[in-house]
Amino acid sequence: MANIYLNAKKDLTTATVTTLYTVPNNSRSIIKSILVNEKTNAATTITLILYDGDPATATAFNLYTTVDITALETKELLAEPLVMMENEVLQVTAADANRCTIVASILETNREDK
């Protein structure tokens, strides 16, 4: 079993749904941190949703709905680690384009590697 440390990061350049991270089908993941930063000196909001599979057909679990991000703020969204199972998907939507970046710190455990 291999432990892979990585981060998933996006510059939220649109006000549409953006996939932040998808767990590979042979892995489990622990999300240690999700940091969002407002970079333009203008407040906005974001929404973060966890899907238990393909977002087109899976159940949506709203983790954060329209979270306020103040001007030039960096906000930690997680108070505790988030465990994600195989094929689960994290998606983020910014209310305004080109204002926020988001970074998730992840420990991915691949069950097939020795």
pLDDT of residue 114: 55
Residue 49: strand pairing partners: 62, 91
Note the pTM of the prediction, 2 decimals: 0.94
Backbone phi, then psi, for 80, in 5-degree steps? -140, 160
- The answer for residues whose C-beta is within 8 angstroms of residue 56's C-beta and 6 or more apart is none
pLDDT of residue 2: 87
Domains by residue range for the chain, with CATH: 2-110 (2.60.120.660)
pLDDT of residue 113: 61
For the chain, which ranges sit under pLDDT 70? Answer: 113-114
pLDDT of residue 52: 97
Separation of alpha carbons 13 and 93, rounded Å: 10
